[in-house]
Structure 1
Amino acid sequence: MYPDSPEIPRALEKYAQEIKATERESIAFKVKTATDLKLWHSKVGGMPYLPVGEKYPCDSKGYPLTFLMQINFSEIPPLLDYPTEGILQFYINETDDLMGLDFDNPTNQEGFRVLYFQTIENDESKLQSGVPNSESNSEDYTGCGPLDKNCILGMEFYREKQYITPFDYRFDKSISFAHDYDIVDVYQEALGTSGHRIGGYPHFTQTDPRVNHEEFQEYELLVQLDSDGNGILWGDMGIGAFFIHPNDLKDCNFSKVLYNWDCC
């Protein structure tokens, strides 16, 4: 069962019906330092799950991308339209000051990569035990990625309901007080959600990238990884996120995922 819906403060009671109409379910997660993670466990940083013979993802110059995180869906509570098994991985480019972000084509996976393994191999002898080192393989290496060196974090998942965030491009159309900044401040203080998340509504420090790309306005949040005090920092306290079309999510097609990160 999901927890109760977020409590709407008295100052927003007159808007309760329209706020409640935006409610969504999501899976939030916390991260913590871990030393006993298996290759197939959900994690941020560390060694990714890669079967022997699987080519490690590289950028257009042939340099290895940096492993960011992976989610083992058998470890999370069920979420509508998400897989219930398999491992979803995210890699980004640390040899690029933009960390693989392509403003003109944010689904271009030359500077980042999303991999999905539907079947999980638990025999470690059939899995790769190391990853290429971006620092030693590229003269262009900048080390500008969001993870501290040697960052290895486990994930703890929990269910969380959300109302639409003021940062979502649909907020203006969904909420009647969207242009009353004093009320929006009350809303954000009481009901705004950032942090690490699977599904639900995204958080941004700048602008929702979907607002300027009509072809991506049906995309929904896939996974969001926020800056925190555990070794994750996107620029100046920013946030990274990946988005997907609902039909692609249902089909487990992660070839057209949209990647975005921003910071203050």
Structure 2
Amino acid sequence: MRRWQSVLSENNENKLKRVIHEQQFGHALDYLMETVRQGIRLSKSRVEDYKAAGCSRIGGDPDLPADVEWPVDSKGTPMTFLAQLRLRELIDDDEASRLPANGALYFFIGIDEPAYDIEHKVLYLQEEQLQAAQRRHAPEVTALEDAFTGYQVSARSTLEPPNYGYVDYEQVEDDEHDYEHYEELCFELTGYSSIDLATMFGYPGTQHGDCEYEAALKLLTGEKYNYSETEALKQITRHLNGDSDRAQQEIRDTLLLLALDSDDDVGFCWWDAGELQFFIRKEDLLAGNFDRTYCSLYSS
């Protein structure tokens, strides 16, 4: 079943066709036009000095108004701050336009074990709330008991092709092109850089290509994923009163809100240098509702 895909803007469609032509991947044109997603990548800019409040930051301390409580987990332990994203600093294109135009998102996490259904909190503060935001030091002990170095981050618009967990190898490989050639195409489209810290609205890192099934199942039914796409689809269909078309659409519309890479500079290390992933239903994203999200972790 085809996963969710964004409709490419005219500029991005032209860019995709150009890169496909330059990389001699015409045999996979239709497949890539159908599966490439418009995304946003966040890269390290500089170590945070906290001279100005409210900028996009990964790691370190958040800028919060005094009346906003620090999130806690189910045991009452303060969660660990991960990132704040000032939405007006993100790319102004078709992809970012699904986010609120102003305000900021804040990401917090509890204990990252097990690797599924991780306790977390995504806060959305509107622009007027941010006028009173100031640096807030983390409570002395938070869930992860780690001190992360804060980095200001900059955003860029990207084209995100299916990664190794999602790509249909038969579509991209032929007698003259193997997976290494496909990776070169991917690097060209994403503008991959070693200073990249995070991705929004792309493909999550995984070996199995089923992350949306896991997240959609939990968000819609509250049930735990048993690593069967077929069974997850059946459960969601039952929850939706037998509407299989809507169930498939819900899976396609389960979006990668944010993926945070492991990074030595910040101090992130998700198990064996993996990736922390936050998902949201498209319906909730468009409504500006960040109270219902899903968090999981991928590590090889």
8 Å Cα contact 2:102-2:127 kept in structure 1: yes
Match of 1:248 in 2: 284
Match of 1:157 in 2: 155
Which structure 2 residue ranges, 5 or more long, are not aligned?
1-10, 214-226, 237-249
2:261 alignment partner, one of 190, 203, 226: 226
CA distance in structure 1 between the partners assigned to 2:15 and 2:264 by the alignment: 28
CA distance in structure 1 between the partners assigned to 2:289 and 2:39 by the alignment: 20
Identity %: 24
Cα offset, 1:165, TM superposition: 2.5
AA paired with 1:70?
Q
**Structure 1 or 2: larger helix share?**
2
8 Å Cα contact 1:23-1:164 kept in structure 2: yes
Match of 2:108 in 1: 91
CA distance in structure 2 between the partners assigned to 1:208 and 1:230 by the alignment: 30
CA distance in structure 2 between the partners assigned to 1:162 and 1:130 by the alignment: 35
AA paired with 1:177?
Q
CA distance in structure 2 between the partners assigned to 1:42 and 1:10 by the alignment: 34
Which region of structure 1 is more displaced relative to structure 2, 13-22 or 81-90? Answer: 13-22
Q: Give runs of ≥4 in structure 1 deviating > 6 Å.
A: none
CA distance in structure 2 between the partners assigned to 1:92 and 1:263 by the alignment: 17
Which region of structure 1 is more displaced relative to structure 2, 16-25 or 2-11? Answer: 2-11
Match of 1:12 in 2: 25
Cα offset, 1:50, TM superposition: 2.0
Give the 3-state SS of the residue equivalent to 2:98 in structure 1: coil
Cα offset, 1:102, TM superposition: 6.4
Cα offset, 1:243, TM superposition: 1.1
Which structure 1 residue ranges, 5 or more long, are not aligned?
136-140
8 Å Cα contact 1:206-1:262 kept in structure 2: no
User: How many pairs were matched up?
Assistant: 240
Change (3 A) 1:113 1:202: same
Map 1:207-218 onto structure 2 (within 5 A). Answer: 208-211=210-213, 212=227, 213-214=232-233, 215=236, 217=251, 218=253
8 Å Cα contact 1:204-1:262 kept in structure 2: yes
> How high is the TM-score relative to the length of structure 1?
0.77
2:122 alignment partner, one of 114, 119, 141: 114
Change (3 A) 1:120 1:223: farther
- The one-character-per-residue Cα deviations of 1:58-101 (angstroms, maximum 9, x if unpaired) are 011111000011111011112131111111111011xx351xx5
Give the 3-state SS of the residue equivalent to 1:4 in structure 2: helix
Give the 3-state SS of the residue equivalent to 1:14 in structure 2: helix
